[in-house]
Structure 1
Amino acid sequence: MKMKDIWIKLKSFFLECKRVLTVTKKPDKMEFTTIVKAAGLGMIIIGALGFLIHILRVMLFP
């Protein structure tokens, strides 16, 4: 690969990063709490499902 090709790819990568950073925004308090609640609920559901599978495995295959 030529040095010019590497430079062009690097420049386009940084331009794309700059574009993404200008489009994104910091979430407000309500949006943040909604995201935290949804993520927490998902973790609880997955943990409970794993615990249930573990209990069933222990009971069925001692």
Structure 2
Amino acid sequence: MNVQESFDKFIKDSKRVLKVSRKPDRIEYRELAKISAIGVVIIGGFGYIIVCLGYLIGI
């Protein structure tokens, strides 16, 4: 498969994805925002704990 065929396949697949996708409604958007915020808080909490442990150990 050459570059032109790969590019054409990518364009075709991209058009298909855009055709079946839709804009989320307000409820879906809020749920996604809540889940994302919870994930950020959890990962940030783990990072904070690791930094505190490193500080206590003396790294």
Give TM class, smaller chain: 0.7 to 0.9
Report the secondary structure of 1:26's partner residue.
coil
Q: What is the TM-score normalised by the length of structure 2? A: 0.80
* Equivalent in the alignment of 1:31: 28
| Same amino acid, percent of matched pairs | 32
Instruction: Identify unmatched segments of 5+ residues in structure 1.
Output: none
Q: Distance in 2 between matches of 1:6 and 1:61?
A: 53
Larger Rg: 1
Instruction: Identify unmatched segments of 5+ residues in structure 2.
Output: none
Number of residues of Structure 1 aligned to a counterpart in Structure 2:
59
- Give the superposed CA RMSD: 2.0
Amino acid at match of 2:54: R
Q: Which moved further from structure 2: 13-22 or 47-56?
A: 13-22
Amino acid at match of 1:30: I
